[in-house]
Amino acid sequence: MDAREVVLRFVRDMERLTGAVSAATAHDIDGGGIGALVRAVNRRLVPRGAELPGGLRYDVHGIGCRITDRNGTLVDVDLGPEPRMLIFDAWRVRRFAESIGEEPVTELELSAALEALAGEGLVMVTPTTYGVWYAATPPP
């Protein structure tokens, strides 16, 4: 898999895994997806990390969440500047690539792929105070 394919798979798996965690935790929080989960953890309403049905595990960290499925696929995202926006950078995509066995893909290649995909409108650049981050393009 080349870097572009890894990024596109990351976005698909991010949507799949964050959706699954949101559905599995909805009864414990106010809905609202990963953002609501992070807020509930910070208010100590739910545990910082937990095993969920279907072999999922979430671990909330700072302003983000790391999710692992039963196959070891790891997706790590932070909360973006807008409600329900999840953001990621090349380092997080690199960790995802390693988790699915795509270790030869470098962070530099992933950064270039993210920039190219942003130019095509398939991901969007998200300004942060700590570097260049990206978000999945919302569905039309």
pLDDT in tens, 67-94: 999 999 999 999 988 778 899 999 999 9
User: What is the three-class DSSP state of 110?
Assistant: helix
Percent of the residues in the chain that have a pLDDT greater than 70, as a whole number: 96
Query: For residue 139, what pLDDT is reported?
Result: 59
Mean pLDDT score of the chain, rounded to an integer?
91
Domain boundaries, the chain: 3-136
- Residue 32 tokens, joined: 């609202």
DSSP lists the bridge partners of residue 125 as 134
Cross-sheet strand order for the sheet of 49-52? 49-52, 56-61, 64-68, 74-79, 86-88, 131-136, 123-128
Mean predicted confidence (pLDDT) in 17-28: 88
pLDDT category at 26 given cuts 50, 70, 90 is confident
Q: Look up the pTM and report it.
A: 0.92
Per-residue burial over 42-55, b if 16 or more Cβ lie within 10 Å, else e, is eeeebeeebeeeee
